[in-house]
């Protein structure tokens, strides 16, 4: 079993070190780990945020564990050289179109949510975010108009097959959960969303057991804080999913808790090939200080064990250890506590 470890920038290496300790503690046999540079760190060393060698190592693995990328010192580089292009390049080159972002309340953490505890308690949502299309990957540029004004533009689009394949993932996920799917779009304004909605409705014919609803994204953002318990599975496009998942994280308590899996169609002998990463970024404001919460990273490792290595028991073991640490009051600064990155790693390893 081969796992590529791409730690990246900022807090990436700090949280990756803790996930690695958890992985070591599981004592899996036949494990082959390959580290590679990515993001700003790779740009500084190799002149590109996603060197060919890194992409090859990722492609060659059964799964990729990814920390975070983003480096304020690279924000003025040409766009194709910026750290964020590494994650976008991995997602598109590896065909990882289905991004699963679960947000569920941990027992005992209700008071840490930005919401009232009785509302926060109900959160158990899976956001299924399309990851290979939308305004992220359309033509984009900055140009000067005839009258001399500068204009930036980004082309938003979805083709029907792109919508259909993510809709199938979401319907199947809903079948395995509460049987409810809410498709989030902006069909009242955007043609991209109008097609999205039509294709989701067409796809629903294959899933008569799933209750489908539709919601405009502005309302969905409001409903996510008003009554997040109403959601079971949400399916949405790349941009809306990015925003709604950060929002959902604060409903749970912290962005330092939310993991994600990015999956495509490729099957290995162990499971589905995928890339796993926290939903947060490189957190430059706390990088290098040992303050980052590594739980989202560790929970991403759990998703890797489940989806790519077929090790459901181990995945559940890691998730239970994280939940127990939280229940025992091991809280990072992001949750109002004082536990540092390594201390949280210690606490999780001790509870495995
Ligand atoms: N997948 C990724 O690699 C990814 C995701 C989001 C942002 N980014 C990049 O990261 C950089 C910083 O972006 P940003 O500040 O908008 O978002 P961010 O998620 O890095 O940080 C937002 C806030 O949350 C805090 N935070 C995030 N993760 C935390 C953790 N594990 N523990 C404790 N606190 C945590 C940060 O300290 C910060 O105050 C940018 O360059 C951005 O492009 C990368
Ligand atoms: C860093 C950025 C490109 C990325 C995204 O927008 O997808 C991040 O915000 C995320 O949520 O994974
Ligand atoms: Mg994001």
Ligand 2 neighbourhood includes 68 CB (under 6 angstroms): no
- Is 24 a catalytic site residue? no
In the reported structure, the alpha carbon of residue 278 is separated from the centroid of ligand 3 by a whole-number distance in angstroms of 9
CA 92 → CA 32, 157, 295, 334, distances in Å? Answer: 24, 15, 26, 31
Residue 112 has a pLDDT of 87
Rounded distance, CA 243 to CA 230, Å?
18
Which domains can be identified in the chain, with CATH numbers?
A: 1-97+265-352 (3.40.718.10)
Residue 114 has pLDDT above 90, yes or no: no
With tokens 């790349």, the residue in question is 238
* 67: number of Cβ within 10 Å: 29
For ligand 2, atom 6, the nearest C-alpha belongs to 242
**pLDDT 10s digits, 283-297:** 999 999 999 999 999
Residue 149 scores a pLDDT above 90: yes
In terms of DSSP bridges, do strands 272-278 and 259-267 run parallel, antiparallel, or are they unpaired? Answer: antiparallel
Residue 352 confidence (pLDDT): 97
Which pLDDT belongs to residue 321? 98
The number of beta carbons lying within 10 Å of the beta carbon of residue 139 is 8
161, pLDDT greater than 90:
yes
Residue-wise pLDDT tens digits, 224-272 = 999 999 999 999 999 999 999 999 999 999 999 999 999 999 999 999 9
pLDDT tens digit sequence for 61-89: 999 999 999 999 999 999 999 999 999 99
Residue 334: burial class (beta carbons within 10 Å; 0-12, 13-18, 19+): buried
Residue 314 pLDDT > 90: yes
Tell whether 288 is in a known binding site: yes
- Look up 218 and say whether it is catalytic: yes
116 is catalytic: no
163-193 pLDDT per residue, tens: 999 999 999 999 999 999 999 999 999 999 9
> For the chain, what is the mean pLDDT?
97
Choice among 124, 180, 246, 270 that is catalytic: 246
pLDDT tens-digit map of 28-58 = 999 999 999 999 999 999 999 999 999 999 9
């Amino acid at each position: 079993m081969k796992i590529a470890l791409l730690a990246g920038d900022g807090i990436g290496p700090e949280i990756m070190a803790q996930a690695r300790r958890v992985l070591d503690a599981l004592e899996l046999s036949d494990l082959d780990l390959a580290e590679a540079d990515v993001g700003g760190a790779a740009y500084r060393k190799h002149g590109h945020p996603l060197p060919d060698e890194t992409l090859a190592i990722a492609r060659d693995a059964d799964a990729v564990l990814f920390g975070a990328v983003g480096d304020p010192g690279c924000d003025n580089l040409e766009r194709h050289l910026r750290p964020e292009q590494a994650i976008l390049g991995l997602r598109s080159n590896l065909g990882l179109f289905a991004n699963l972002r679960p947000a569920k309340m941990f027992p005992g953490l209700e008071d840490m949510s930005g919401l009232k505890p009785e509302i926060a308690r109900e959160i158990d949502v899976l956001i299924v975010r399309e990851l290979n299309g939308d305004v992220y990957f359309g033509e984009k540029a900055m140009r000067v108009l005839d009258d001399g004004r500068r204009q930036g533009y980004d082309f938003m689009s979805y083709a029907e097959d792109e919508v259909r394949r993510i809709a199938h993932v979401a319907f199947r996920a809903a079948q395995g959960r509460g049987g409810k799917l809410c498709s989030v779009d902006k069909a009242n304004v955007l043609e991209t969303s109008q097609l999205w909605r039509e294709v989701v409705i067409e796809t629903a014919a294959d899933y008569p057991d799933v209750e489908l609803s539709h919601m405009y994204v502005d309302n969905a953002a409001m409903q996510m804080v008003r009554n997040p318990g109403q959601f079971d599975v949400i399916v949405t496009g790349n941009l809306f999913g990015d925003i709604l998942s950060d929002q959902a994280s604060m409903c749970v308590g912290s962005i330092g808790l939310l993991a994600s899996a990015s999956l495509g169609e490729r099957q290995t002998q162990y499971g589905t090939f995928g890339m796993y990463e926290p939903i947060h970024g490189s957190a430059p404001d706390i990088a290098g200080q040992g303050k980052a919460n590594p739980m989202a990273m560790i929970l991403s490792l759990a998703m890797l064990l489940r989806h790519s290595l077929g090790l459901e028991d181990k995945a559940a073991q890691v998730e239970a250890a994280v939940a127990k640490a939280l229940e025992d009051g091991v809280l990072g600064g992001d949750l109002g506590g004082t536990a540092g990155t390594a201390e949280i790693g210690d606490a999780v390893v001790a509870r495995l």
